[in-house]
Amino acid sequence: MSANLRDVARQAGVSVGTVSNVLNRPDVVSPKTLERVQKTIAQLGFVPNGFARQLRSGYSRTIGLVVPDVANPFFTEVARGVEDAASKRDYAVFLCNSDESLEKENKYLSVLIQQQVRGVLITPSDSKSHQYENLRERGISVALLDTETKNASQCSVSVDDVRGGEIAIEHLASLGHREIAWVTGPETIPQVADRTAGVMRAAKIAKVEISTIRVALMNSAQGTDAVKKILALKKMPSAIFCGNDLLAFGVMRGLLDAGIKIPEDVSLLGYDDIAFGNSAAVPLSSISQPAYQLGVTAAELLISECEENEVHAHQQIKFQPQLVMRASTATKK
């Protein structure tokens, strides 16, 4: 049978309370006693009961992370940043994949409430979700990740996606492209709405014609399907801008299968600058986001709010996107 708290206390020659202090408040234990108890814990292979500790303290050392597509390498890198930052503060992370579904997102939030997590980081699948208030009412801190909030009493860590959309169109327009297809997901996704706003604003200034192609999910398969719609347009665009790199990879495959050369016939630009973009059949130009830093910063803000409670100063941090030029975009011939 596994060792328990009393076994450790008996073998170390201390009280159960002292063992508890070693586990929860080591700063109040003398160095000599601390060392003896820790050695005993190691010898017996004692593992503290996290659930019991949670019941005693009234809170857990876990946070939830809800992202729209865990298969997207961008969110994999975000999750890595969250986990690294949480680990340094002795927190565990529950990773939930919403699949860009509000229904699935709400189910996961209910599960996280049941698990009594201390806080939740979420990239919303729909800007109209009101579940966050339900979490706060239960004492669970919430911070938005990769999504900006206008609420001064809530933390958020995001990228200026409006500016990202502008940068993309400015780049393509500077190469002489005047007919551009914008391949993107549902407008209900906050990032999509912001990037679209940037696209349209820059297009108006540069006098560029935009053909919007919407897909249900922002993945590679939907990108390939979108090529059929692009080829059916009255006038073939000379450049295509995609809402993320996965869509761009799908579009790239569809174009190449159709015998259309990149960038000779069509320039192609993605968004996210995920790790293997440089290894694509044609190295992909993209709008870069600091995925790992987004995760680290968001986790640090959330955990600070969890621990500081009323004295926590809410922050809305916004990173700036950058253009990464590779072989998939070129001057229009």
Identify whether the C-beta of residue 98 lies closer than 8 Å to the C-beta of residue 124: no
pLDDT at residue 128 in the model: 66
**3-class DSSP state for residue 269?**
strand
* pLDDT (tens digit per residue) in 12-26: 999 988 988 888 778
pLDDT over 50 (residue 88): yes
**What average pLDDT does range 71-88 have in this prediction?**
96
Cβ atoms within 10 Å, residue 325: 13
Of the pLDDT bands very low, low, confident and very high (cuts 50, 70, 90), residue 4 is confident
104-119 pLDDT, tens digit per residue, is 999 999 999 888 899 9
> Which residue type, as a one-letter code, is found at position 11?
Q
Question: DSSP label at 94?
Answer: E
Give the tens place of pLDDT for each residue, 180-228. 999 999 999 999 999 999 999 999 999 999 999 999 999 999 999 999 9
**How far is the C-alpha of 278 from the C-alpha of 303, rounded, in Å?**
35
Q: What is the mean pLDDT of residues 247-270?
A: 98
pLDDT for 54: 54
pLDDT at 22: 86
Determine which of 131-140, 179-188, 189-198, 317-326 has the lowest per-residue pLDDT on average.
Answer: 131-140
CA 124 to chain centre: 10
Beta-carbon contacts of residue 290 (< 8 Å; ≥ 6 apart): 159, 319
Q: Looking at residue 156, what is its pLDDT?
A: 95
Residue 160, pLDDT above cutoff 90? yes
pLDDT of residue 55: 45
Q: What is the pLDDT of residue 186?
A: 93
pTM, two decimals, is 0.82
pLDDT score, position 168: 98
Evaluate if residue 35 carries a pLDDT over 70. yes
Mean pLDDT of the chain: 91
Which tokens sit at 258? 């159709």
Whether 80 contacts 292, CB under 8 Å: yes
Would you say residue 49 has pLDDT above 80?
Answer: no
- Percent of the chain surpassing pLDDT 90: 72
pLDDT of 58 above 70: no
Average pLDDT over residues 79-87: 97
Weakest mean pLDDT among 18-32, 38-52, 195-209, 278-292:
38-52
DSSP secondary structure code for residue 189 in this structure: S
Predicted confidence (pLDDT) at residue 1 exceeds the cutoff of 60: no
List domains and CATH numbers for the chain.
5-48 (1.10.260.40), 57-157+291-319 (3.40.50.2300), 161-289 (3.40.50.2300)
Q: Which residue has the tokens 């560029």?
A: 208
